[in-house]
Amino acid sequence: MGTVEVRNGIYWVGAIDWGVRDFHGYITPSGTTYNNYLIMDKEITLVDTVKHDFYESTIRNIRAITDPAEIKHVVINHIENDHVTSIGEIMHFTPKATIYITEKGKKGLDRFYDTSKWNIKTVKTGDTLSIGSKTLLFIETPMLHWPDSMMTYVKEDKVLISQDAFGQHIASSARFDDELIDCESLTFLEDSVIDYYANILMPFGQLIKAKVSDIQKLGLEIEVIAPDHGIIWRRDPGRVIKMYLDMASGKANESVAIIYDTMWHSTEAMTIPIMEGIKDEGLTCRVIKLRATPMSMAIKEFWKARGALIGTPTLNNIMYPSVAEFLTHLRGLRPKNRVAGAFGSYGWGGGAVKEAYEEFKRMGLETFEPGLQVLYRPSRDDETKCYDFGRDFAKKVKEYHKKF
Ligand code: FEO
Protein backbone atom coordinates (compact mmCIF):
# COMPACT_ATOMS: atom_id res chain seq x y z
CA MET A 1 0.00 0.00 0.00
CA GLY A 2 1.24 3.47 -0.85
CA THR A 3 1.48 6.53 1.31
CA VAL A 4 -1.60 8.12 2.82
CA GLU A 5 -1.83 11.73 3.96
CA VAL A 6 -3.01 11.83 7.54
CA ARG A 7 -3.30 15.60 7.75
CA ASN A 8 -1.56 18.68 6.27
CA GLY A 9 1.65 17.11 5.01
CA ILE A 10 1.85 14.35 7.62
CA TYR A 11 1.99 11.06 5.75
CA TRP A 12 1.60 7.45 6.81
CA VAL A 13 4.61 5.68 5.25
CA GLY A 14 4.36 2.37 7.11
CA ALA A 15 3.90 -1.27 6.23
CA ILE A 16 1.06 -3.77 6.38
CA ASP A 17 1.84 -7.24 7.73
CA TRP A 18 -1.10 -9.28 6.45
CA GLY A 19 0.39 -12.62 7.46
CA VAL A 20 1.69 -12.27 11.01
CA ARG A 21 -0.22 -14.58 13.34
CA ASP A 22 2.30 -14.92 16.15
CA PHE A 23 3.51 -11.56 17.39
CA HIS A 24 6.06 -12.53 20.03
CA GLY A 25 3.59 -15.11 21.31
CA TYR A 26 0.58 -12.83 21.05
CA ILE A 27 -1.76 -14.27 18.42
CA THR A 28 -2.81 -11.73 15.79
CA PRO A 29 -5.58 -13.28 13.69
CA SER A 30 -6.05 -10.03 11.76
CA GLY A 31 -2.35 -9.34 11.15
CA THR A 32 -1.01 -5.92 11.99
CA THR A 33 0.58 -2.78 10.60
CA TYR A 34 3.78 -0.98 11.53
CA ASN A 35 2.86 2.67 11.23
CA ASN A 36 5.40 5.41 10.85
CA TYR A 37 4.92 8.97 9.74
CA LEU A 38 6.77 11.36 7.45
CA ILE A 39 6.22 15.03 8.20
CA MET A 40 6.88 17.25 5.21
CA ASP A 41 8.06 20.69 6.23
CA LYS A 42 11.15 22.82 5.77
CA GLU A 43 13.03 20.18 7.76
CA ILE A 44 11.61 16.80 6.80
CA THR A 45 11.02 14.58 9.81
CA LEU A 46 10.36 10.85 10.10
CA VAL A 47 8.61 9.61 13.22
CA ASP A 48 9.42 5.95 13.94
CA THR A 49 10.54 3.23 11.56
CA VAL A 50 9.06 -0.23 10.94
CA LYS A 51 9.93 -3.85 11.69
CA HIS A 52 13.07 -4.77 9.78
CA ASP A 53 11.38 -7.31 7.48
CA PHE A 54 9.37 -4.40 6.08
CA TYR A 55 12.01 -1.71 5.69
CA GLU A 56 11.71 -1.83 1.88
CA SER A 57 8.02 -0.89 2.21
CA THR A 58 8.73 2.21 4.22
CA ILE A 59 11.67 3.25 2.02
CA ARG A 60 9.44 2.85 -1.04
CA ASN A 61 6.71 4.90 0.61
CA ILE A 62 9.14 7.62 1.64
CA ARG A 63 10.58 7.71 -1.90
CA ALA A 64 7.09 8.31 -3.27
CA ILE A 65 7.16 11.64 -1.42
CA THR A 66 10.80 12.62 -1.13
CA ASP A 67 14.35 11.38 -1.35
CA PRO A 68 15.13 9.65 2.00
CA ALA A 69 18.44 11.53 1.98
CA GLU A 70 16.39 14.71 2.55
CA ILE A 71 15.20 13.53 5.98
CA LYS A 72 16.65 15.89 8.54
CA HIS A 73 15.22 14.51 11.78
CA VAL A 74 14.24 11.02 12.91
CA VAL A 75 12.11 10.73 16.02
CA ILE A 76 12.17 7.38 17.80
CA ASN A 77 9.16 7.22 20.08
CA HIS A 78 9.80 3.63 21.18
CA ILE A 79 12.64 1.15 20.69
CA GLU A 80 10.81 -2.18 20.61
CA ASN A 81 11.98 -4.20 17.62
CA ASP A 82 8.81 -3.76 15.58
CA HIS A 83 9.45 -0.01 15.40
CA VAL A 84 13.18 0.51 15.50
CA THR A 85 14.80 -2.27 13.51
CA SER A 86 14.80 -0.30 10.25
CA ILE A 87 16.76 2.55 11.80
CA GLY A 88 20.02 1.22 10.33
CA GLU A 89 18.63 1.43 6.79
CA ILE A 90 17.11 4.87 7.40
CA MET A 91 20.39 6.21 8.75
CA HIS A 92 22.20 4.66 5.79
CA PHE A 93 20.17 6.90 3.49
CA THR A 94 20.45 9.99 5.66
CA PRO A 95 23.53 9.63 7.86
CA LYS A 96 23.55 13.27 8.93
CA ALA A 97 20.01 13.24 10.30
CA THR A 98 19.51 13.88 13.98
CA ILE A 99 17.72 11.27 16.08
CA TYR A 100 15.40 12.47 18.87
CA ILE A 101 14.79 9.93 21.59
CA THR A 102 14.37 9.72 25.36
CA GLU A 103 17.38 9.09 27.60
CA LYS A 104 16.22 5.55 28.28
CA GLY A 105 15.56 5.05 24.59
CA LYS A 106 19.12 6.02 23.79
CA LYS A 107 20.49 3.56 26.32
CA GLY A 108 18.47 0.81 24.65
CA LEU A 109 19.42 1.91 21.14
CA ASP A 110 23.08 1.78 22.11
CA ARG A 111 22.62 -1.91 22.99
CA PHE A 112 21.20 -2.77 19.57
CA TYR A 113 23.31 -0.59 17.28
CA ASP A 114 26.68 1.05 16.93
CA THR A 115 25.38 4.57 17.41
CA SER A 116 28.79 6.21 17.68
CA LYS A 117 28.48 7.91 14.28
CA TRP A 118 24.88 9.03 14.65
CA ASN A 119 23.73 12.46 15.85
CA ILE A 120 21.45 11.75 18.78
CA LYS A 121 19.63 14.26 20.95
CA THR A 122 17.81 13.08 24.04
CA VAL A 123 14.51 14.77 24.82
CA LYS A 124 12.10 14.93 27.72
CA THR A 125 8.53 16.03 28.28
CA GLY A 126 7.98 19.61 27.19
CA ASP A 127 10.91 19.76 24.76
CA THR A 128 9.98 21.03 21.33
CA LEU A 129 11.47 20.92 17.87
CA SER A 130 10.54 23.46 15.21
CA ILE A 131 10.79 21.93 11.75
CA GLY A 132 9.52 24.94 9.78
CA SER A 133 5.84 25.68 9.94
CA LYS A 134 5.25 22.86 12.39
CA THR A 135 6.34 22.33 15.98
CA LEU A 136 6.86 18.91 17.54
CA LEU A 137 6.28 18.53 21.26
CA PHE A 138 7.70 15.48 22.99
CA ILE A 139 5.86 13.80 25.85
CA GLU A 140 7.54 11.00 27.78
CA THR A 141 5.25 8.08 28.62
CA PRO A 142 7.51 5.76 30.63
CA MET A 143 6.09 2.23 30.97
CA LEU A 144 3.49 2.97 28.36
CA HIS A 145 4.51 0.51 27.62
CA TRP A 146 8.32 0.41 27.80
CA PRO A 147 10.61 2.56 29.94
CA ASP A 148 11.78 4.46 26.85
CA SER A 149 8.34 5.25 25.43
CA MET A 150 7.26 8.73 24.43
CA MET A 151 4.72 10.39 22.16
CA THR A 152 5.16 13.19 19.64
CA TYR A 153 2.51 15.87 19.28
CA VAL A 154 2.36 18.04 16.16
CA LYS A 155 1.04 21.27 17.62
CA GLU A 156 -0.24 23.11 14.55
CA ASP A 157 -2.11 20.06 13.25
CA LYS A 158 -3.31 18.72 16.61
CA VAL A 159 -1.98 15.28 15.74
CA LEU A 160 -0.73 12.98 18.50
CA ILE A 161 1.65 10.28 17.27
CA SER A 162 1.17 7.91 20.16
CA GLN A 163 3.45 4.89 19.48
CA ASP A 164 1.83 1.67 20.78
CA ALA A 165 -0.82 3.41 22.88
CA PHE A 166 -4.27 3.44 21.29
CA GLY A 167 -3.14 0.89 18.68
CA GLN A 168 -4.70 -2.34 17.52
CA HIS A 169 -3.36 -5.34 15.65
CA ILE A 170 -5.36 -5.01 12.45
CA ALA A 171 -4.06 -5.36 8.91
CA SER A 172 -6.57 -3.68 6.64
CA SER A 173 -6.95 -1.60 3.53
CA ALA A 174 -8.44 0.99 5.91
CA ARG A 175 -6.03 3.49 7.42
CA PHE A 176 -8.56 5.43 9.48
CA ASP A 177 -11.23 4.64 12.07
CA ASP A 178 -14.10 5.79 9.83
CA GLU A 179 -12.85 3.63 6.95
CA LEU A 180 -12.52 0.54 9.13
CA ILE A 181 -15.96 1.00 10.67
CA ASP A 182 -17.38 1.22 7.13
CA CYS A 183 -15.67 -1.95 5.89
CA GLU A 184 -15.81 -3.95 9.13
CA SER A 185 -17.70 -2.61 12.15
CA LEU A 186 -17.31 -0.49 15.26
CA THR A 187 -17.63 -3.67 17.32
CA PHE A 188 -14.65 -5.22 15.52
CA LEU A 189 -12.60 -2.08 16.07
CA GLU A 190 -13.47 -1.80 19.76
CA ASP A 191 -12.82 -5.49 20.32
CA SER A 192 -9.38 -5.04 18.75
CA VAL A 193 -8.65 -2.13 21.11
CA ILE A 194 -9.66 -4.27 24.10
CA ASP A 195 -7.56 -7.19 22.83
CA TYR A 196 -4.50 -4.94 22.55
CA TYR A 197 -5.06 -3.31 25.92
CA ALA A 198 -5.67 -6.62 27.70
CA ASN A 199 -2.57 -8.31 26.35
CA ILE A 200 -0.13 -5.41 26.45
CA LEU A 201 -1.36 -2.59 28.66
CA MET A 202 -3.33 -4.34 31.40
CA PRO A 203 -0.52 -3.91 33.97
CA PHE A 204 -0.34 -0.17 33.43
CA GLY A 205 -3.86 1.05 34.24
CA GLN A 206 -2.80 3.52 36.93
CA LEU A 207 -0.05 4.90 34.70
CA ILE A 208 -2.50 5.31 31.85
CA LYS A 209 -4.84 7.36 34.00
CA ALA A 210 -1.95 9.51 35.23
CA LYS A 211 -0.49 10.03 31.77
CA VAL A 212 -3.83 10.92 30.16
CA SER A 213 -4.33 13.38 32.99
CA ASP A 214 -0.85 14.85 32.34
CA ILE A 215 -1.71 15.27 28.66
CA GLN A 216 -4.98 16.95 29.61
CA LYS A 217 -3.07 19.30 31.93
CA LEU A 218 -0.84 20.27 29.03
CA GLY A 219 -4.04 21.52 27.40
CA LEU A 220 -3.37 19.77 24.12
CA GLU A 221 -6.18 19.66 21.63
CA ILE A 222 -6.12 16.25 20.00
CA GLU A 223 -7.95 15.92 16.70
CA VAL A 224 -6.04 12.91 15.36
CA ILE A 225 -4.36 10.04 17.21
CA ALA A 226 -1.85 8.21 15.04
CA PRO A 227 -0.63 5.03 16.78
CA ASP A 228 2.10 2.64 15.63
CA HIS A 229 -0.31 -0.22 14.89
CA GLY A 230 -3.66 -0.44 13.16
CA ILE A 231 -5.95 2.39 12.21
CA ILE A 232 -5.50 6.10 12.82
CA TRP A 233 -8.19 7.80 14.88
CA ARG A 234 -9.44 10.83 12.97
CA ARG A 235 -13.23 10.65 13.24
CA ASP A 236 -13.40 10.14 16.96
CA PRO A 237 -10.09 10.08 18.85
CA GLY A 238 -12.02 10.80 22.05
CA ARG A 239 -13.59 7.34 21.79
CA VAL A 240 -10.34 5.46 22.27
CA ILE A 241 -9.20 7.82 25.04
CA LYS A 242 -12.46 7.13 26.87
CA MET A 243 -12.08 3.39 26.32
CA TYR A 244 -8.59 3.52 27.84
CA LEU A 245 -9.73 5.54 30.85
CA ASP A 246 -12.69 3.21 31.37
CA MET A 247 -10.53 0.10 31.23
CA ALA A 248 -7.90 1.67 33.47
CA SER A 249 -10.66 2.44 35.98
CA GLY A 250 -11.84 -1.16 36.08
CA LYS A 251 -14.67 -1.18 33.55
CA ALA A 252 -15.79 -4.69 32.61
CA ASN A 253 -18.93 -6.39 31.38
CA GLU A 254 -21.27 -7.75 33.99
CA SER A 255 -20.64 -11.23 32.64
CA VAL A 256 -18.64 -14.39 33.23
CA ALA A 257 -15.90 -16.17 31.33
CA ILE A 258 -15.41 -19.87 31.98
CA ILE A 259 -11.85 -20.67 31.01
CA TYR A 260 -10.99 -24.33 31.30
CA ASP A 261 -9.08 -27.32 30.07
CA THR A 262 -9.84 -30.99 30.36
CA MET A 263 -8.16 -34.41 30.15
CA TRP A 264 -10.98 -36.92 29.69
CA HIS A 265 -13.88 -34.46 29.39
CA SER A 266 -14.89 -34.57 33.06
CA THR A 267 -13.93 -30.97 33.83
CA GLU A 268 -15.47 -30.10 30.49
CA ALA A 269 -18.70 -31.83 31.52
CA MET A 270 -18.84 -29.53 34.55
CA THR A 271 -18.89 -26.41 32.37
CA ILE A 272 -22.40 -27.04 31.01
CA PRO A 273 -24.38 -27.00 34.28
CA ILE A 274 -22.15 -24.21 35.61
CA MET A 275 -22.90 -22.15 32.50
CA GLU A 276 -26.63 -22.86 32.90
CA GLY A 277 -26.54 -21.66 36.49
CA ILE A 278 -24.81 -18.44 35.43
CA LYS A 279 -27.32 -17.84 32.65
CA ASP A 280 -30.29 -18.53 34.92
CA GLU A 281 -28.94 -15.85 37.22
CA GLY A 282 -29.19 -13.44 34.27
CA LEU A 283 -25.56 -13.09 33.23
CA THR A 284 -24.05 -13.82 29.86
CA CYS A 285 -21.30 -16.39 29.83
CA ARG A 286 -18.50 -17.15 27.40
CA VAL A 287 -16.81 -20.56 27.57
CA ILE A 288 -13.21 -20.96 26.43
CA LYS A 289 -11.26 -24.19 26.18
CA LEU A 290 -7.62 -23.33 26.59
CA ARG A 291 -6.08 -25.98 24.32
CA ALA A 292 -8.41 -24.87 21.55
CA THR A 293 -7.84 -21.14 22.01
CA PRO A 294 -4.77 -18.93 21.61
CA MET A 295 -3.57 -17.56 24.94
CA SER A 296 -4.06 -13.93 23.95
CA MET A 297 -7.72 -14.57 23.09
CA ALA A 298 -8.30 -16.24 26.45
CA ILE A 299 -6.67 -13.24 28.16
CA LYS A 300 -8.97 -10.88 26.28
CA GLU A 301 -12.08 -12.84 27.29
CA PHE A 302 -10.91 -12.90 30.90
CA TRP A 303 -10.44 -9.12 30.78
CA LYS A 304 -13.83 -8.38 29.23
CA ALA A 305 -15.81 -10.16 31.95
CA ARG A 306 -16.18 -9.10 35.57
CA GLY A 307 -15.97 -12.71 36.72
CA ALA A 308 -13.93 -15.72 35.63
CA LEU A 309 -14.29 -19.36 36.56
CA ILE A 310 -11.17 -21.38 35.91
CA GLY A 311 -11.68 -25.08 35.25
CA THR A 312 -8.71 -27.38 35.78
CA PRO A 313 -8.31 -31.13 36.10
CA THR A 314 -5.78 -32.34 38.62
CA LEU A 315 -2.73 -33.90 37.03
CA ASN A 316 -0.07 -35.30 39.35
CA ASN A 317 -1.62 -33.35 42.23
CA ILE A 318 -1.24 -29.97 40.54
CA MET A 319 -3.04 -27.86 37.96
CA TYR A 320 -3.32 -29.00 34.40
CA PRO A 321 -0.31 -27.52 32.52
CA SER A 322 -2.29 -25.35 30.09
CA VAL A 323 -4.26 -23.83 32.99
CA ALA A 324 -1.07 -23.21 34.97
CA GLU A 325 0.43 -21.54 31.89
CA PHE A 326 -2.64 -19.33 31.49
CA LEU A 327 -2.63 -18.26 35.13
CA THR A 328 1.11 -17.56 35.06
CA HIS A 329 0.63 -15.42 31.97
CA LEU A 330 -2.30 -13.67 33.60
CA ARG A 331 -0.32 -12.97 36.79
CA GLY A 332 2.28 -11.12 34.73
CA LEU A 333 -0.47 -8.85 33.44
CA ARG A 334 -1.44 -7.91 37.01
CA PRO A 335 -5.23 -8.06 36.55
CA LYS A 336 -7.39 -5.98 38.87
CA ASN A 337 -11.06 -5.54 39.66
CA ARG A 338 -12.07 -9.08 38.73
CA VAL A 339 -13.56 -11.92 40.76
CA ALA A 340 -12.38 -15.49 40.22
CA GLY A 341 -13.34 -18.99 41.25
CA ALA A 342 -12.13 -22.47 40.30
CA PHE A 343 -13.54 -25.91 39.65
CA GLY A 344 -12.31 -29.22 38.28
CA SER A 345 -12.33 -32.96 38.26
CA TYR A 346 -9.79 -35.14 40.05
CA GLY A 347 -9.13 -38.85 40.26
CA TRP A 348 -6.84 -39.51 43.21
CA GLY A 349 -5.82 -36.82 45.65
CA GLY A 350 -6.93 -33.58 43.99
CA GLY A 351 -4.99 -30.35 44.41
CA ALA A 352 -5.53 -28.33 41.22
CA VAL A 353 -8.43 -26.22 42.50
CA LYS A 354 -6.50 -25.37 45.66
CA GLU A 355 -3.53 -24.33 43.54
CA ALA A 356 -5.71 -22.16 41.31
CA TYR A 357 -6.92 -20.25 44.39
CA GLU A 358 -3.33 -19.78 45.52
CA GLU A 359 -2.64 -18.15 42.16
CA PHE A 360 -5.73 -15.92 42.46
CA LYS A 361 -4.51 -14.75 45.84
CA ARG A 362 -1.02 -14.05 44.53
CA MET A 363 -2.65 -11.85 41.92
CA GLY A 364 -4.80 -10.10 44.51
CA LEU A 365 -8.04 -11.03 42.78
CA GLU A 366 -11.34 -11.10 44.61
CA THR A 367 -12.18 -14.77 45.12
CA PHE A 368 -15.34 -16.81 45.27
CA GLU A 369 -14.84 -19.70 47.65
CA PRO A 370 -14.90 -22.56 48.12
CA GLY A 371 -14.15 -23.96 44.69
CA LEU A 372 -15.82 -27.07 43.39
CA GLN A 373 -14.12 -30.44 42.91
CA VAL A 374 -15.68 -33.55 41.45
CA LEU A 375 -14.31 -37.08 41.76
CA TYR A 376 -13.77 -38.61 38.32
CA ARG A 377 -16.88 -37.90 36.26
CA PRO A 378 -19.69 -35.63 37.48
CA SER A 379 -22.75 -37.58 38.66
CA ARG A 380 -26.30 -36.19 38.40
CA ASP A 381 -25.89 -34.98 41.95
CA ASP A 382 -22.60 -33.32 41.00
CA GLU A 383 -24.29 -31.62 38.04
CA THR A 384 -26.75 -30.04 40.44
CA LYS A 385 -23.82 -28.85 42.54
CA CYS A 386 -22.22 -27.40 39.42
CA TYR A 387 -25.44 -25.58 38.53
CA ASP A 388 -25.68 -24.12 42.03
CA PHE A 389 -21.99 -23.20 41.93
CA GLY A 390 -22.54 -21.29 38.68
CA ARG A 391 -25.59 -19.60 40.04
CA ASP A 392 -23.88 -18.56 43.29
CA PHE A 393 -20.86 -17.34 41.38
CA ALA A 394 -23.08 -15.17 39.17
CA LYS A 395 -24.67 -13.68 42.31
CA LYS A 396 -21.20 -12.85 43.61
CA VAL A 397 -20.26 -11.25 40.28
CA LYS A 398 -23.40 -9.10 40.28
CA GLU A 399 -22.69 -7.94 43.83
CA TYR A 400 -19.03 -7.24 43.12
CA HIS A 401 -19.87 -5.40 39.89
CA LYS A 402 -21.84 -2.80 41.85
CA LYS A 403 -18.54 -1.42 43.14
CA PHE A 404 -17.63 -0.09 39.72
FE1 FEO B 1 4.61 -2.20 18.82
FE2 FEO B 1 5.99 -1.99 21.95
O3 FEO B 1 5.97 -2.29 20.11
pLDDT digits (tens, 9 = 90+) for 150-183: 999 999 999 999 999 999 999 999 999 999 999 9
Residue owning the nearest CA to atom 3 of ligand 1: 80
For residue 360, how far is its CA from the centre of ligand 1 (angstroms)?
28
For residue 80, how far is its CA from the centre of ligand 1 (angstroms)?
5
Binning pLDDT at 50, 70 and 90, where does residue 2 land? confident
Strands 253-260 and 284-289: parallel
- Predicted structure pTM score: 0.94
The tens digit of pLDDT for each residue in 85-98 reads 999 999 999 999 99
For residue 79, how far is its CA from the centre of ligand 1 (angstroms)?
8
Task: Find out whether the beta carbon of 359 lies less than 6 Å from any atom of ligand 1.
Answer: no
The tens digit of pLDDT for each residue in 347-383 reads 988 999 999 999 999 999 999 999 999 999 999 999 9
Which ligand 1 atom sits nearest the alpha carbon of residue 167?
1
Residue 212: predicted pLDDT: 87
Residue 358: predicted pLDDT: 98
Binning pLDDT at 50, 70 and 90, where does residue 215 land? confident
Give backbone dihedrals phi and psi of 25, rounded to 5 degrees, phi first: 95, -15
Residue owning the nearest CA to atom 2 of ligand 1: 80
Which ligand 1 atom sits nearest the alpha carbon of residue 229?
1
Residue 1: predicted pLDDT: 64
Residue 213: predicted pLDDT: 87
For residue 200, how far is its CA from the centre of ligand 1 (angstroms)?
9
**Section 191-199 average pLDDT:** 96
Binning pLDDT at 50, 70 and 90, where does residue 25 land? confident
Task: Find out whether the beta carbon of 80 lies less than 6 Å from any atom of ligand 1.
Answer: yes
**Section 381-404 average pLDDT:** 98
Binning pLDDT at 50, 70 and 90, where does residue 268 land? very high
Task: Find out whether the beta carbon of 82 lies less than 6 Å from any atom of ligand 1.
Answer: yes
* Active site members: 24, 78, 80, 82, 145, 164, 196, 229
Q: What is the pLDDT of the chain when averaged over all its residues?
A: 96
Task: Find out whether the beta carbon of 143 lies less than 6 Å from any atom of ligand 1.
Answer: no
For residue 393, how far is its CA from the centre of ligand 1 (angstroms)?
37
